[in-house]
């Protein structure tokens, strides 16, 4: 039996249902933003990355270790907290490290930046040799490192500073470009 109280309750329930439906229908959902060209962005990232570089013959030449690596574009990979070592078969005793590095798809050149440090335990005159700079380009297959920035070089107790440098890592040769000054302890 319908009483006035039941009729009012049913009317209130119908009004609430209609109000909920109306609010849900009036709220428009935004479509996700489309990527240019309608394609999905592809890429990857790696934590604790280890990437192996090979020479022209396909033999292992060097190894890149990084805390983080991310594909920036189709032909570039960015690294954070990176270390580069040549394999023992190359007879290149240098290890390089930097805060950041980038390599292109052709892998001909690595660009290192931020606290770049290169160390060799079999450096000049059999003494530990190191050089430091803020920016360096490395050609791994040619064993060549070059910078136009300020560079500090230490060979044992001796130290030099210069603006710009070309290093032939395999031959243990450094060529300083300009503004060379140094300190030699007998």
User: For 69-86, how does the pLDDT look when each residue is reduced to its tens digit (9 = 90+)?
Assistant: 998 876 788 999 999 999
Q: Which residues contact 131 (CB under 8 A, 6 or more apart)?
A: 117, 118, 151, 152, 153, 154, 165, 167, 174
pTM for the structure as a whole: 0.71
| Predicted local distance difference test score (pLDDT) of residue 38 | 47
Residue range 153-176: mean pLDDT, rounded? 88
User: For 14-54, how does the pLDDT look when each residue is reduced to its tens digit (9 = 90+)?
Assistant: 777 766 766 666 655 554 455 455 444 566 788 998 988 88
Break the chain into its structural domains and give their ranges. 43-183
In CATH, what is the architecture of 43-183? Sandwich (2.60)
Per cent of the chain over pLDDT 90 is 35
């Amino acid at each position: 039996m319908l009483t006035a109280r039941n009729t009012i309750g049913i009317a209130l329930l119908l009004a609430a249902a209609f109000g909920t439906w109306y609010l849900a229908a009036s709220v428009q959902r935004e479509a996700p933003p489309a990527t240019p060209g309608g394609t999905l962005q592809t890429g990857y990232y790696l934590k604790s990355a280890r990437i192996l570089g090979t020479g022209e013959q396909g033999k292992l030449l060097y190894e890149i270790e990084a805390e983080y690596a991310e594909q920036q574009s189709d032909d570039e990979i960015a690294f954070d907290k990176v270390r580069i070592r040549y394999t023992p078969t190359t007879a290149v005793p240098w290890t390089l490290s930097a805060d950041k590095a980038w390599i292109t798809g052709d892998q001909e050149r690595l660009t290192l930046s931020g606290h770049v440090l290169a160390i060799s335990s079999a450096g000049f005159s059999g003494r530990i040799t190191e050089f430091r700079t803020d920016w360096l380009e490395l050609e791994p297959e040619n064993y060549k490192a070059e910078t136009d920035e300020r560079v500090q070089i230490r060979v044992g107790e001796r130290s030099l500073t210069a603006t710009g440098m070309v290093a032939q890592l395999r031959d243990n040769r450094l060529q300083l470009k300009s503004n060379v000054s140094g300190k030699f302890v007998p």
